[in-house]
Amino acid sequence: MSLPNFWDDQEKSSSVINELNELKSIVKDITSLDEEVKDLDSILKDDVDNDTLSLIEEEYNSTNEKLEKLELLLLLSDQYDKNDCIFEIHSGAGGTEACDWANMIYRMYTRWCDKKGYKYTLLDYQEGDEVGIKSVSIEVKGMYAYGYLKCEKGIHRLVRLSPFDANHKRHTSFASVLVTPLIDDSSDIVINDKDLKIDVYRSSGNGGQGVNTTDSAVRITHLPTKIVVTCQNERSQLQNKEQAMKILRNKLKLLEVEKKNMEMEEIKGEQMNIEFGSQIRSYVMHPYSMVKDHRTKCETSNVLGVLDGDIDIFIESKLKNNEE
């Protein structure tokens, strides 16, 4: 930050400042926790009555809870865990039900981002034919965004009484979540124009008059790898193309790293069909209330709380399970 040209690149300087603030917050939490432990230790050296001991136990439980939160950072030590990420949701088997379910978990994750203080930008949004969304892509910014959200990669299954069924029968819906880390050094990737298929189309969803009435949205297909990226959040076709190319370079860089380090399964995760038998987590709203992660066996009956963004118990459980 002391360099004379620090402010020349506003995007980069903003990223550095955000990282500094996040690191300061971590140091502040550690310092505060250290002081709490020393205070408890000092009190316990003296004789205390039962009332004081009860207060100490409450303070101890609070301190221990804070320590467990900090210990999670030790589990976020993989190559890209600190990075921002591209977060995608795609509806699966279930038609209208699946599109509505995709929209529900889109809200769940944006609510989680709000609670964590992460900033997110809508990159692409494809509406369902009747309700909900077919797919959505957002860029999530914040320290350890990828480290936390990589735990959510996979198929998410919903069981509920359908609001779209006249007979009010129980339906099962699926949606998939894909998470890709944003890599800083992807600018060195060279892409040949002949390897690209570029389509433009009219943006969908809310975005202002200019976005919705012009063919500003861009879809780029990289023919050799079959990678498809889309962007429609900017107002001009040129801006959307630049953003889509940035995402494409990032994904191609990730492929390059995967091939070099033989870490494709670890970074991208196993690709599964969006259907029965492949889910990582089930959200059951009928005939009982339960959210269960099939990888870690972590579960809760507070379905509405989870759908409102309270998913840390599942993320933390997955991180700890990976360590074991």
State the DSSP code for 186. G
CA distances (Å), origin 285, targets 37, 141, 154: 42, 32, 20
Integer Cα distance of 180 and 195 in angstroms = 22
State the DSSP code for 276. T
Instruction: Label the pairing between strands 170-181 and 217-222.
Output: unpaired
Quick one: CA torsion of 250, 314, 63, 118, rounded to 10 degrees?
40
* 151 touches 277 (CB < 8 A): no
Would you give per-residue pLDDT tens digits along the chain (324 residues)?
A: 899 999 998 878 888 898 898 889 889 999 999 999 998 888 887 777 888 888 888 888 989 988 988 888 889 988 889 999 999 999 997 789 999 999 999 999 999 999 999 999 999 999 998 899 999 999 999 889 999 999 999 999 999 998 888 787 899 999 999 999 998 766 678 899 999 999 998 876 554 444 455 678 999 999 999 999 999 888 789 999 998 998 999 889 888 877 766 544 555 555 555 555 579 999 999 999 999 999 999 999 999 999 999 999 999 999 998 766
* 187 touches 109 (CB < 8 A): no
* 221 touches 207 (CB < 8 A): no
State the DSSP code for 83. S
Quick one: tokens of 101?
Answer: 């379910």
Which pLDDT belongs to residue 19? 83
Integer Cα distance of 31 and 37 in angstroms = 10
Using alpha carbons only, what angle is made at residue 73 by residues 251 and 136, rounded to the nearest 5 degrees?
A: 35
* 308 touches 302 (CB < 8 A): no
Per residue in 44-82, pLDDT (tens digit) is 877 778 888 888 888 889 899 889 888 888 899 888 899
CA distances (Å), origin 240, targets 125, 215, 252, 283, 292: 13, 11, 18, 35, 38
Phi, psi of 80 (to 5 degrees): -115, 10
Could you give the 3-state DSSP secondary structure of residue 73? helix
Strand partners, 222: 196, 227
Closest-CA residue to 153 (of 125, 175, 174, 176):
176
Integer Cα distance of 27 and 23 in angstroms = 6
Long-range contacts (CB closer than 8 Å, 24 or more residues apart) made by 238-246: 240/216, 241/198, 243/123, 244/218, 244/219, 244/220, 245/191, 245/220, 246/186
Neighbours of 114 (CB within 10 A): 12
Per residue in 219-268, pLDDT (tens digit) is 999 999 999 999 988 878 999 999 899 899 988 988 887 776 654 455 55
